[in-house]
Amino acid sequence: MNTGIHKDSIDMADHDDIETKAGGSVSAAFEDFMRAFEAYKETNDERLGEIERRSASDPLIDERLARIDRAIDETKRTADRLALKAERPHIGGGAPETGAVREHRQAFHAYVRKGDAAGLHLLEQKALAVSTNSGADGGYLVPPETERAVMSALKNISPIRAIASVRQVSGSVYKKPFSTTGFAHGWVAETTARTQTSTPTLVEIPFATKELYAMPAASATLLDDSAVDIDAWIAEEVQGTFAEQEGKAFVSGNGTTEPTGFMSYTKELAGDEEWGEIAYIKTGVNGAFPAENPSDKLIDLVYTLKAGYRANGTFVFNRGTQAAIRKMKDDDGTYLWQPAAAAGEPSLLMGYPVIESEDMPAIASGAYAMAFGDFRRGYLIVDRVGIRVLRDPYSAKPYVLFYTTKRVGGGVQDFNAIKLLRFAE
């Protein structure tokens, strides 16, 4: 069947070129993504045919398939980025400002543009008079709308934040009680005597917030330009750095100076794990899927989770692992990996959403390169309210640096909710 797709024309253009070709249109970018996937299927089927005929693949076809695979990833990112840009609210474009919010914003602008901290200092002294927050972190709070813009962007571009539970706190540590044996429960009629149920074993899990920073630089010309939306500038400058650092920490953070990543906990073979350990299964092959029926290991991983968690399961792995999985078919010849239904939505693997995280390990001997779980129940992110900015006009003259900080913590809250696939015998 002629799909109208020119496989040889699918190439790994750089991201800016792909976005330019899409004309900045979400629909055009998504169509490019779907065309790339159709070309991928056609080329992979050709590769499989060569293997069946010659017991080996054609290197030229392999090269073309890899090129199309990269194009799928790039066109998907472009479509998602354009969809996010179209939905992103403009700072200051919402409800009318209250007097207090307007006063804070004006004082913040005076500080950022001119270094005049008097207004912000007065406002924070007033706030401290009615708050238990010590304000000892240094710097000054950004306006509420700027903070909301940053946090909204982080939810959309930080992979694990998009699927985890998130809680805001005012202190430096959030402590959550968790039952390792299940809470007491039972059925009774209105007049029936209540029998004693088993007492749950409770542990208290502390989630300490850690300081994350970015330090954008501005020229005097930019700060003097009244046409520059200074709130939007700060939000756009820091959100990418925050998302990149968060994404890494939520996967592999050390728990000391960073949140504790879900990959940083002790791992144990499924069935032998205890509370506080992440269970895994093996592929049976060092550094690879089995040559025969590789998709069986994906099925095994999914069903390692109990049904209550499985219903909201999500796969997490990096782009290289996704490239390996994209080739897999079921017994009916249908590809297990399916493209997203629309821009901004995840692709699917066996019907479950896929989150691509470049901070996950690559496939290698002994690597835990794939996770599957209900991350909403399994992983908790704790955000301390407030993003702070400290102006530094001295360290990088003639530029002004803005030391921008937020405090965030994270860790596993339910060890039954996340399972791993280890590429080992």
Could you list the mean pLDDT of each consecutive 10-residue stretch along the chain, which spans 425 residues?
47 44 74 92 90 87 92 89 72 63 91 93 75 61 91 90 95 86 66 61 89 96 93 93 96 97 98 96 97 95 96 97 94 92 91 96 98 98 95 95 97 97 98
Q: What is the pLDDT of residue 187?
A: 75
Reduced to 3 states (helix: H, G, I; strand: E, B; else coil), residue 254 is: strand
Q: What is the pLDDT of residue 183?
A: 57
Contacts (Cβ under 8 Å, ≥6 apart) of 119: 103, 106, 107, 110, 111
Q: What is the pLDDT of residue 99?
A: 77
329 backbone dihedrals φ, ψ, rounded to 5° = -125, 160
Among residues 108, 104, 145, which one has the least CA distance to residue 127?
104
Q: Domain ranges for the chain, please list them.
A: 7-87, 140-318+357-425
Contacts (Cβ under 8 Å, ≥6 apart) of 385: 168, 169, 170
Cβ atoms of residues 296 and 285 within 8 Å: no
Q: What is the pLDDT of residue 181?
A: 65
What span, in angstroms and rounded, lies between the C-alpha atoms of 161 and 355?
Answer: 11
What span, in angstroms and rounded, lies between the C-alpha atoms of 348 and 354?
Answer: 5
Among residues 408, 373, 413, which one has the least CA distance to residue 180?
413
Q: What is the pLDDT of residue 4?
A: 44
Torsion of CA 306, 308, 311, 313, to 10 degrees: -60
| Token pair belonging to 207 | 């989630």
242 backbone dihedrals φ, ψ, rounded to 5° = -60, -45
Strands 379-392 and 165-169: parallel
Reduced to 3 states (helix: H, G, I; strand: E, B; else coil), residue 235 is: helix
Q: Provide the whole-model pTM.
A: 0.83
Q: How many CA atoms lie within 13 A of 142 on its CB side?
A: 27
Q: What is the pLDDT of residue 182?
A: 61
- The CB density around residue 23, as the number of other CB atoms within 10 Å, is 10
Among residues 152, 140, 217, which one has the least CA distance to residue 388?
140
